[in-house]
Amino acid sequence: MEIMNKKRMQIFSGTGYTALAEDVAAHLGMKLGDIDIHRFANGEIYCRMQENVRGSDVFIVQTHCEPVNANIMEQLIMIDAAKRASAKRITAVVPFYGYARQDKKAKSREPITAKLLADLLTAAGCDRVVSVDLHTGQIQGFFNDPLDHLTALPLLVNWVTENIPSDEDIVFASPDAGRVRLAEKFQSRVPEAGIAFLAKTRTAHNVAKTLAVVGDVEGKTVVLVDDMIDTAGTLCGAAEALAERGAKRVLALATHPLLSGPACQRLEDSVIEKIVVTSTLPIPDNCGSDKIVQLSIAPIIASTMRAIFEDESVSELFDDDNI
């Protein structure tokens, strides 16, 4: 008797940001799997997949947006449900990885929560993780199983080349010394552009002060680049410092739009002309600024998921700029 083994791919989404998961599924020509997720009266999460996943390649999409802890727990429960339902392989798709900034001990008696989250995903039954622009690359080392670290760099560079006139002098600037390498990556894609960075001091969590600008920005179109925008204090302070030093205009690029607390109002009141972000996180409802441009990250994630399912190279997608 000949046994036929046909591979199956199924995509399930948590409740955190269903619109992104639907967008990813649409790029793959698929629909999201049917799943029942609801809360008990005391807040506990219930999850049951409403279709057979035995032997399937299951992708569980959940970005760690607000409420962060609830969405993380929901994804862990979904992974456990898929494992106990005999899924062949479970991939956690985490466009924005929560707790990424807690990746080391800066002071005594601090946790390394990014490592704890990696352990939780593994313990739940995850075989592979897909994420976009981690806060630091070292987080990849927290996983013993494969992690595909995607980047929105091609997407953001394309926006720059399509929307900034070629006759403008462009300078890619890092809002602090920690993102100089990121600015260099952008500059390598636009070789005629310059590079600069700002020195800052941080007095507390989410509180920063810009001290100096390193690089020639006078009369230039300066593009600030960062991995995320949280309260936007650093970004707006950097933009103000660039304007004071003669920048012709200031724009900003970032992968993850957290936009917490006063961020939206700060950006609206700032000298920044455009803030370009991706759809790894939803734009908050109270953030209706015309300055914000959101690009879909779904094609990049969908291409990666297809490559994983078909056991093809993920790195070639980025090397060849096919996404």
Q: Known catalytic residues? A: 200
| Residue 58 burial class via C-beta count within 10 angstroms: exposed 0-12, middle 13-18, buried 19 and up | buried
CA distances for 45 relative to 21, 81, 118, angstroms: 20, 12, 21
CA distance 86 to 149: 26
Shortest CA distance to 146 belongs to which of 314, 287, 292, 301? 314
CA distance 264 to 142: 33
CA distances for 301 relative to 1, 306, 314, angstroms: 39, 9, 10
- DSSP H helix total and E strand total for the chain: 9, 14
Rounded to 5°, the CA angle 21-25-31 comes to: 105
147-150/128-132 β-pairing: parallel
* Sign of the alpha-carbon dihedral angle for 302, 303, 304, 308: positive
| Residues 175 and 153 sit within 8 Å (Cβ to Cβ) | no
| Residues 183 and 197 sit within 8 Å (Cβ to Cβ) | yes
| Residues 99 and 121 sit within 8 Å (Cβ to Cβ) | no
- Tokens representing 181 are 């390498």
**C-alpha atoms less than 13 angstroms from C-alpha of 127 in its C-beta half-sphere:** 14
**Residues paired with 278 in a beta bridge:** 295
